[in-house]
Structure 1
Amino acid sequence: MRGRRLLVVVILIIAAAVIVFFRTYDGKPGPLPSVDDIITELNEYDSEADAAVVLDQVKLTEQQVFIPFVSNQGIHGMGFLTWEKRKWSVVRVDMSERPEVRVTDHSDPAGRYIVWNNNPLEKLQEFRFYLIRDRNAGMSSGIYYYVPRVQMETLVNVTEHPYGAMPYPEEWAGIMREDNKLGKVPASNIMDKIFSHTYSQPSSMYVGYLPVYANGAPGLGSSSKSGGEDTEYLMIMNEKDLENPQK
């Protein structure tokens, strides 16, 4: 009798494990939906999208795809598909016509992509993207500290690439990893304490961009859209925000 009860318990545990597995296991991503289905899903996700033309299907990872599209009103929007629960689903639509960062891996800076879908009416020639860490100095707990400035630049020709997804350059990812690592250095002696204290201060590291227009053409206005945990916004910068800016 006891053996029977034990067998029943084991069977129930196995059955529960199988159910949980199939509910949480996404499996290998299947083929993407058709263009018509993608348009339908974009519009169902956000009625303001009014998507009409899909420009491309840009794979970020095996489970994440960037969809640049154009609405019936000529707005250049961005959609994002994710493979989850064994199907492709729209997880974000952005109609702001401004670049943003899509995070595919929160554990590694290399898992970030700058994505954009530029409206040609903007008469943009170039995006200048920057990784910035502000210079910082002061004293805390009797210890002087100094955090040097970082300014790293990468350029995108918008005329040649009106839409795209650019992974963070390895130089950016590397310095961001080091910045994170230095803030976690254990302080075992006085020099380590000074070193650790220096880099434990807020470094204000961020990514921004400078749009360069043809013949000084003014930029168009833009709408805003709420984001999520997988979206990071880019700060629009001015020449005065930069050190030794390009002319």
Structure 2
Amino acid sequence: MKKRSILAGGLLFVGLFAFYWLHVVKTDSRPKNEEILSQINSSLQNSQAVDIQDFLKLDDGHGVAPFISDKEQYGVSYWERHLTAWKVISIRTDGEPKVWMLDGSDPSSFHIVWNINPGSDIQTLQYFFTRERGYSSSGEQQHYVPGILMKTEASLAGNSYGAMKVPGEWGDALTLSDGSDVPDTLFGDNNNMGIHSRFGWIPLDENNKEVEWNNSINNSSYYKGNVREQHMQLLDQYQIQKGQF
């Protein structure tokens, strides 16, 4: 009888813990700023984080903590929720826009992440998904690939940082073949971006004029585990107007 009571008590504890994890901790929690600083600074070597600007939850298990370093770098750290705590899985001291692919086979999980020094003249970030048009033939088979140009924008008014889910139509375009047979190992087996497709961006000032982007050569980064991150090509308005992307 005593053993049954202990077993029942154990099962009740497990059930309560599971409920707490699924409905309270996992949904509402975020790491404290002190813990974010500690984990970042225990990993970086050439600089130290001194100010945690925010913690942006992307879903129940992933988040982004933008920060400022002691060298006045505006950086980004990527976080993943583990069973008992949040763990940092990637840190970079440059805030240039990049795409974090939470699930490489699911474009709906992709997020553009950035942290731009507010001391620059940049006020608006234009983001693009582009695909070159092309044509190929093999024997009697002909294959035409239409070009794609999609744009979205993010304002820096109020915050130097942000995280934006990739628009749904971009996700649809990512599932279309561009006619290339070259695999892209950054993406899962079910989602091949192809060699003719690109993510890109253009920084603009308050008058919607291009701003020259000067990325510091003293940036550093740290990765722990398999973090899927896609570079965004720096474009210019002339390229977009002429279709030269």
TM tier, smaller: 0.7 to 0.9
Aligned equivalent of 1:208: 200
Q: Identity of aligned pairs, percent?
A: 22
Is 1:170 the counterpart of 2:149? The answer is no
1:189-222: CA deviation from partner (whole Å, max 9, x where unpaired):
xxxxxxxxxxx9x561221111113576543333
Partner Cα separation in structure 2 for residue 33 and residue 54 of structure 1: 11
Partner Cα separation in structure 1 for residue 50 and residue 168 of structure 2: 36
Higher gyration radius (CA) = 1
Aligned equivalent of 2:115: 117
Aligned equivalent of 1:80: 78
Aligned equivalent of 1:42: 40
- Residues 134 and 203 of structure 1 are in contact (CA less than 8 Å); yes or no, is this contact kept in structure 2? no
Structure 1 gaps of 5+ residues are: 1-24, 185-199
1:15-30 map, 5 Å: 28=22, 29=25
Task: Sort the Cα spacing of 1:86 and 1:150 in 2 relative to 1 into closer, same or farther, 3 A.
Answer: same
Q: Which one has a larger percent helix, Structure 1 or Structure 2?
A: 1
Partner Cα separation in structure 2 for residue 143 and residue 217 of structure 1: 45
1:96 counterpart SS class: coil
- Residues 78 and 95 of structure 1 are in contact (CA less than 8 Å); yes or no, is this contact kept in structure 2? yes
| One-letter amino acid of the structure 1 residue matched with residue 238 of structure 2 | K
Structure 2 gaps of 5+ residues are: 1-17, 182-191
1:1-247 map, 5 Å: 28=22, 29=25, 31-177=29-175, 179-180=176-177, 204-213=196-205, 218-223=212-217, 229-243=227-241
- Residues 100 and 114 of structure 1 are in contact (CA less than 8 Å); yes or no, is this contact kept in structure 2? yes
1:70-126: CA deviation from partner (whole Å, max 9, x where unpaired):
112211110111112532111000112311111112221111000111101221021
Shift of 1:238: 1.8
- TM-score if structure 2 supplies the norm length? 0.73
- Structure 1 residue ranges, 4+ long, deviating more than 6 angstroms after superposition: 181-184
Partner Cα separation in structure 2 for residue 105 and residue 216 of structure 1: 33
1:122 counterpart SS class: coil
Partner Cα separation in structure 1 for residue 239 and residue 220 of structure 2: 25
How many corresponding residue pairs?
Answer: 204
Shift of 1:37: 1.5
Partner Cα separation in structure 1 for residue 65 and residue 117 of structure 2: 15
Shift of 1:42: 0.7
Task: Sort the Cα spacing of 1:229 and 1:55 in 2 relative to 1 into closer, same or farther, 3 A.
Answer: closer
- Residues 178 and 196 of structure 2 are in contact (CA less than 8 Å); yes or no, is this contact kept in structure 1? no
- Residues 94 and 215 of structure 2 are in contact (CA less than 8 Å); yes or no, is this contact kept in structure 1? no
Shift of 1:244: 6.3
Partner Cα separation in structure 1 for residue 53 and residue 99 of structure 2: 19
Shift of 1:49: 4.2
